[in-house]
Amino acid sequence: MLTELTVSTLVSAMIIAGLWLLRGMILTPVAGGKNQNVTVELRVKGSSPELENTVSGLLWLSDNGTLRADIVIIDEGMDEETRQEAGLLAKTDERVSFREWGRMIDT
């Protein structure tokens, strides 16, 4: 029984390691080359309670090296609560900026 448990654990670990390596091949890092800058634009209209989660996910990708990009949140008619959240996100991290369609918003 102990042998079966050990073999099962080793096989599971090998499968997980294989999937992790496959993930590494699928999620290749995206970064600008020489004289290039990558920017992600988030165009937001109305209420967007998931804005913080979206920005956090993009920053996570940036932190682990998968996506090296600046994030621009663009106000295309946000409600007031979402606008305040976007401003706070821009103040919290220098990689995030906030602008209305056509102009930068001072944060």
Strand 39-46 to 103-104 pairing: unpaired
Mean pLDDT on 59-64: 87
- Please give the model's pTM, rounded to 2 decimal places: 0.68
Tell me how far apart the alpha carbons of residues 85 and 14 are, in angstroms, rounded to a whole number: 43
Three-class secondary structure of residue 9 per DSSP: helix
Least confident of 3-7, 24-28, 64-68, 85-89: 24-28
pLDDT of residue 67: 83
pLDDT at 92: 93
What mean pLDDT is predicted for residues 21-28?
69
pLDDT at site 103: 59
- In the chain, what percentage of residues exceed pLDDT 70? 86
Domain boundaries, the chain: 1-30, 31-107
